[in-house]
């Protein structure tokens, strides 16, 4: 399945972040950042959905499984969802997913949920730059390696992930 076409890579690790942006707020803000010619890190790859409520854990996990080093979700601010409450549903699912990822040993900074309004092009820039740097420091997500047990776990190591997460 992986047909990596090796375009020349920089010496440093370049994170690949899949971003799910909702159509009405975050995707529009992202366009606004472009119209305003704000420069930011090129490490996010945007997938447009109509509402952050469409986003389910399986999509996030699929992204990580396919090789993403991080996932960013962008939705409308609470109260401003174009479909009234989709963003709240997304938030609930996201919180649960974070707990699950923690158990898998995936660093919490790798998945991030942000509320970005249609006029907040600068926030798209800021969040993208911040997240890229954070993940650069964390390094690539190596799902097949045995992760070090998180400090708050006592004896048992976290389970090995072979990529069959769904």
Partner 1 sequence: MIMSNTAAGDQPRIGVFVCYCGRNIASKVDVEKVRQFAEKLPNVVVSRTYKFMCSDPGQEMIQQDIKELKLNRIVVASCSPLLHEPTFRRTCAAAGLNPFYFQMANIREQVSWVTADTVAATRKASALVAAAVSRVACHTSLEKKRVPVHADVMVVGAGISGIHAALLLANAGKKVYLVEREPSIGGHMAQLDKTFPTLDCSACILTPKMSEVKNHPNITCWTLSEVEEVSGFAGNFKIKVRRNPRYIKQELCVACGQCVDVCVFKEGKVLDDFNVGLSKHKPIYMPFPQATPACVLIDPTACLKLSRGKCAQRCVEACDRKAIDFEQQVIHEEVEVGAVIIATGYQMFDARKTPEYGYGKYLNVYTMMEVERLVNAAGPTQGEVIMRDGKTPKTVGIIHCVGSRDKRHHPYCSSVCCMAALKTAHLVREHTGALVFNFYIDMRTPLKGYEEFYDRVLQEGVQFVRGRVAEVTDWAVTPAEDGKLVIRVEDTLIGVARRIPVDMVILATAMEAHHDAAELQRRFNISCSKEGWFLERHPKLAPVSTFSDGIFLAGVCQGPKDIPGSVAQAGAAAAEALMLVDKGFVEIEPNSAWIDDEVCSGCKTCVPLCPFHAITYNAQDHVSVINEALCKGCGTCVASCPSGAAQQKLFTDEQIHQEIKGVLNYV
Least separation, in Å, of the C-beta of 113 and partner 1?
14
| Pairing between β-strand 17-22 and β-strand 111-115 as defined by DSSP bridges | unpaired
Q: What is the spatial distance between Cα 157 and Cα 155, in angstroms, rounded to a whole number?
A: 7
Q: Which of 148, 109, 146 has the alpha carbon at shortest distance from 130?
A: 109
SS3 53: helix
Least separation, in Å, of the C-beta of 109 and partner 1?
19
Q: Can residue 3 be called a binding residue for partner 1 (CB under 8 A)?
A: yes
Interaction pattern, residues 16-55, with partner 1; x per rule: CB under 8 A: x-x----xxx-xx-xx-xxx-xxxx-x--xxxxxxx-xxx
User: In the set 100, 103, 109, 119, which binds partner 1 (CB under 8 A)?
Assistant: 119
Interaction pattern, residues 92-111, with partner 1; x per rule: CB under 8 A: -x------------------
Q: Can residue 155 be called a binding residue for partner 1 (CB under 8 A)?
A: no
Q: What is the spatial distance between Cα 63 and Cα 65, in angstroms, rounded to a whole number?
A: 5
């Amino acid at each position: 399945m992986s047909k990596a076409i090796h375009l020349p890579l920089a010496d440093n690790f370049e994170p690949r972040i899949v971003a799910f942006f909702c159509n009405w707020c975050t995707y529009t803000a992202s366009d606004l950042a472009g119209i305003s010619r704000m420069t930011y890190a090129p490490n996010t790859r945007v997938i447009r959905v109509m509402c952050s409520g469409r986003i389910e854990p399986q999509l996030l996990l699929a992204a990580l499984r396919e090789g993403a080093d991080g996932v960013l979700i962008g939705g409308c601010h609470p109260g401003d969802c174009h479909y009234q409450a989709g963003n709240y549903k997304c938030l609930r699912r996201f919180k649960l997913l974070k707990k699950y990822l923690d158990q898998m040993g995936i660093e919490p900074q790798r998945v991030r949920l942000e509320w970005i309004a249609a006029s907040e092009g600068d926030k798209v820039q800021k969040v993208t730059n911040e997240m890229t740097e954070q993940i650069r420091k964390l390094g690539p997500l190596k799902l097949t390696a045995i992760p070090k047990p998180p400090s708050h776990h006592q004896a048992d190591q976290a389970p090995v992930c072979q990529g069959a997460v769904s």
